[in-house]
A and B are shown apart, each in its own frame.
Chain A
Amino acid sequence: MGLFDLLFGQKGFTHGIHPPYHKDTADKPIRRLPFPPQLVLPLDQHIGKPALPLVHKGQEVVRGEPIAKADGNFSVPLHAPATGRIRGIELMPTPKGPKTNAIVIDVYEGSTQEVLWEQPRDMSELNPDEIIQAIQDSGMVGLGGAAFPSHMKLTIPQDKEVDTLVINGCECEPYLTCDHRIMLEHPKALLRGIRYAMRATGTQKAIIGVEDNKMDAVEVLKSHLSKGSPVEVKAVETKYPQGSEKMLIKSALNREVPTGGLPSDIGVVVNNVGTLAALGDLLPQGRGLIERVITVAGPGIGKPANYLVPLGTPIRHILEHVGYEGSRTEFILGGPMMGPAVSALDTPITKGTSGLLVLNEPSIEDESHKIWPCIRCARCVNACPMHLNPSMLGLLAAKRKYEEMGLDYHLNDCFECGCCSYVCPSNIPLVQYFRIAKAINREQAA
C-alpha cells in the first residue's frame, strides 16, 4: 500500500492488486489442436462493423481463403481456418452474449494444416499506407482481448504525432500465459511485427513492457536485439492491471493518458505482443488471421497448456481434448478478472479470445458471495488504478444516481478492470454496477 510508495517513490502506476497468478502453464510449449468437425466464425469478432460474407451455403473453401470482407474502414475481413464446405450463415452464441450471425464450416475429415491460400509479398517495398492496408487485409485485431482492428489502431490521426510504440507483454491476468509463450517461442516474428508497426506509424522508438515475473522472456527478447536497436525491453512490476494500456504507458514512459483521451494524445501507440508476433508472421506471407494461441487452464482442466487453435473452434471441442471436471463450473473466455463467462459450450474461440478457463468457484448462491453493506474500508479506493472512489460510486449506483456518477465521480474513466470488486470485503459487485451505470448513461446520451 502506501509504505512502498513512501519509501521508493512512485514506480510505475500506483494502486492495483496482486491476485494469485496461477501461471502454471508458463512452461507448456504451444501445441496444436486437431480441427473440430465444425467451425463457427461470427462476423463480428472485432469492434466495429461486422464483416460481409463472401461465401454461400454449400460452397467449398480452402484453409486461408477469405470468406468475408471488411465493411468499410472500421472493419476487418475473415479467412477460412480450415478446408471444408460452408454449412450456412447461422445465428450462433458468441462470447459477447447475444447470438450473432456466423459462418459455419463443416471441416473435411483429414483436412490439412497447410495454408492453401496466401499471397507472399516483399514487405521492404511497402510504404506505410500499404502496410496499414496489408494489416487490414490480414483481418488482424488486438489479440490481447479488446479485438480492436489493428490497422485502425496503427493509423495515427493527421493532427497527432506519435514517437513511441509500446508493446504490451505484461499479461497481467491470472492464469494466462499465451503471450509469455509467444515471446519465448516466436521472438523473431515479434520483432518483425514490431518493425512493420514502427514503419506503419513512423515511430522511432519501441518499448516492450514485460512484467518481471517473466524474466526468461525478457532475456530471450534481449538476446535477439542488436546494440543500438530502437527496440528496448523493459521489465515492469508484476501487478494487475499492468497490462492495461494506460497503466503500461505510465510504467514504461511515465506519461499519463489524459482523462477521456487516447494514447496518441501523448505520442504513444500500444500493441499487444501476440498481435505483433502474428503480424510478423502473416504479413510477409500475405496470409489472414486463421488461428491463435490460447491458454487453457483453471482448476477444472485436466491438461492445462497453451494451444494453437483454429478460430471458430467451439470450446466444447477443446474441453473434450484437454479433459475437465466439475459439475458446477464457470467457463471463461480470457482472464478471470475481465473475461466473460459463457452460457453455451458451442461458443467458439474468436480473434479476441486469449484463454479458456474452467473455474470451480462456489456457486453464486453460496454464503461466501453474500453481499454486506459497505463498511467504508477504503480497500477499493486503494486498489483503483484510475484513482477513482469506487466506494462512493457504489453508493451512488445503489441509489441509481447514474448521472451524478459520471459528472462528479469520473465514472467514464473506469475501464472495468475489476480491482474494486476483487478486494471488496462486502462482496459488493462494484464494477458490475459501474458497467450498468455506464450503459445507462450511454443510452441516455444517445
Chain B
Amino acid sequence: MSKKPTIELRTSPHAHAGEDVVIIMRNVVYALLPICAFTIWQFGLSALALLVVVTATCLLSERMFNKLSGKPNSLGDWSATITGLLLAMTLPPGFPLWMGAVAAFIGVAMGKAMFGGLGMNAMNPALIGRAFVQAAFPVAITTWTPAFFEGRFSQFIPTTLTPPFLQPPVVSEWVTQVTVDSFSGATPLALQKFEGVVTDHMDMLLGTTAGSAGETSALLILAGGLYLAARRMLDWRIPVLVLLGAALTAGVFFLIDPVKYPDPLFVVLSGGLMLGAWFMASDMVGSPVTPLGVVIYALMIGFLTVIIRLFGGLTEGVMYAILLGNAATPLIDQITQPRVFGQQRADK
C-alpha cells in the first residue's frame, strides 16, 4: 500500500445490472430502423422525407422545451427520437411534411413536455400527435398511396411537398398514372370495411400493401419486437396479450357472421395493430407496472381496437384503443396492487 487510496462511500447495493435508460431506448431505435428502411424502400423519397422531418421536429421541440423549462438537454435519452420515428410510421407516406411537423410538435408539447418530460407523460406522445392531426386533417391522413410505385426514388408523392398551411392536392389522378395495375389506393382495412375485399394474408405479413409507413410489414415489426423482448427491454406479455385480445374479440364476431366480419388473422395482421401492440402499447411509461394490471391493460387494448374497427366510423382503432389504455393505466395500477409476501389472501 504505497499511495493513499481514494475511498468511495456509497450505500448498498454496490452492484448494478448495468442496463440504463439510454441503452434501452437506443435498442428500441435499433429495432425500429429495419422498419424505417423497409418503408423507405416501399415508398421512396416521400417516406424518407417524412421520417426525417417528423423526427427532427420532435428533437427540436424537445430541446426547445428543455430550454424553456430550464431542464438539462434530454435528447441524449433517445426518447424523442423514438417518438419521432413512431409518429412518422403511423402517418400515410405521402402525408404533407408541414402537417407531419405539426403532429410532431403537438406530440412532444402536449404529449410529453406539458407533463414534465420523460417518464411523466400519461399517454404515448406519438399517438397524441397523431390523434391531433387525425382530427385536424381528416382528409390528408386517410389519403393512401400505392407501395412500390415507379420512380419513387426520384420523385415525391405530390402531397408531400404541400406548402405550409395549405391543403394537399388530390392525388387520385397521380395514383392512376404511377400504378400499373388498377390500384385503388385503399388500405387492406378500408378495402375490407367499405368494399368487403379481404387482402391476402401473406401480402400483409410481408408488407406489400398500402398503408401507413410503418404499419405494412408485420414481419419486420415482429422481428424488432422479438429482439427487444429477447433482450428484456420490452414486456412480451403486452404485445402478445393485445394481439390475443384482438384475435379473440374478432374471433367471436367472425363466428357469428364470417361474411360480414373479418377473420381474426386478418385483424391481427392489418392496420397498425402490429406496430401498436409491439411498440406503442408496450411503451413502459404508459403501461401498468403490476403483473395483473398488464394483463387487463393489454386485453383491453386488443378488445377496444376491434370494437372501434368494426363499429366505429374509422377504419383503424389501435390509436384510440392505446390512448384509452394509457388513460386507464393509473387506475389499473391502483386496483391491481400485488399481494405482498406474507400478506393474508383476501379469501382467508
A: which residues have CB within 8 A of B?
1-2, 13, 17, 19-20, 174, 246, 250, 256-261, 316, 319-320, 324, 326-332, 336-345, 357, 359, 361, 363-364, 368, 370, 372-378, 381-382, 385-389, 391-392, 409-410, 413, 418, 421-423, 425-427, 429, 431-432, 435
Contact = CB atoms under 8 A, between A and B. Distances in A.
Interface in B129-143: none
B341 A13 contact: yes
A339 B16 CA distance: 14
A413 B17 contact: no
B291 interface: yes
B339 A387 contact: yes
Contacts of B341: 13, 246, 250, 256, 259, 385-387, 413
Contacts of A258: 342-344
Interface stretch (B6-14, B89-97, B182-190, B261-269): B6-14
Contacts of A329: 5-8
Interface stretch (B148-156, B281-289, B313-321): B281-289
A59 to B, nearest CB: 32
Top 7 nearest A-B pairs by Cβ distance? A418-B13, A373-B119, A378-B289, A259-B342, A372-B21, A377-B284, A336-B14
B9 A319 contact: no
Given A258-B342, A258-B344, A341 B9 contact: yes
Contacts of B118: 372-373, 375
B1 interface: yes
Contacts of A174: 15
6 contacts: A326-B5, A338-B12, A341-B12, A363-B8, A378-B235, A391-B289
B24 A377 contact: yes
Nearest to B342: A259
Contact of A339 (B5, B12, B232, B338): B12
Given A174-B15, A327-B3, A373-B119, A341 B21 contact: no
A86 B157 CA distance: 92
B13 A421 contact: yes
B342 A246 contact: yes
B291 A2 contact: yes
B23 interface: yes
Contacts of B10: 330, 341, 364
Contacts of B181: none
A381 B338 contact: yes
B340 A426 contact: no
A332 B20 CA distance: 24
Given A246-B341, A372-B118, A422 B291 contact: no
A240 to B, nearest CB: 10
A429 B12 CA distance: 9
B120 interface: yes
Contacts of A361: 8, 14
B10 to A, nearest CB: 5
Which applies to chain A's interface (DSSP): helix, strand, loop or mixed? loop
Contact of A376 (B16, B119, B291): B119
Contact of B120 (A363, A373, A429): A373
B173 interface: no
Contacts of B15: 19-20, 174, 336-337, 422
Given A372-B21, A373-B116, 8 more contacts: A337-B14, A340-B11, A343-B7, A378-B288, A389-B338, A410-B340, A422-B13, A427-B16
B13 A343 contact: no
A425 B6 contact: no
A413 B3 CA distance: 44
B294 to A, nearest CB: 8
Contacts of A423: 17
Contact of B20 (A13, A344, A364, A427): A427
A377 B282 CA distance: 10
Contact of B117 (A331, A370, A373, A386): A373
B63 interface: no
Contact of B342 (A261, A328, A342): A261
A250 B342 CA distance: 10
Contacts of A364: 8, 10
Select the residue from A339, A370, A378 with max chain B CB neighbours within 10 A.
Answer: A378
A14 B343 CA distance: 15
Contacts of A19: 15, 17
A2 B294 CA distance: 12
Nearest to A266: B342
Nearest to B20: A425
B8 A328 contact: yes
Given A413-B341, A413-B342, A425-B23, A376 B289 contact: yes
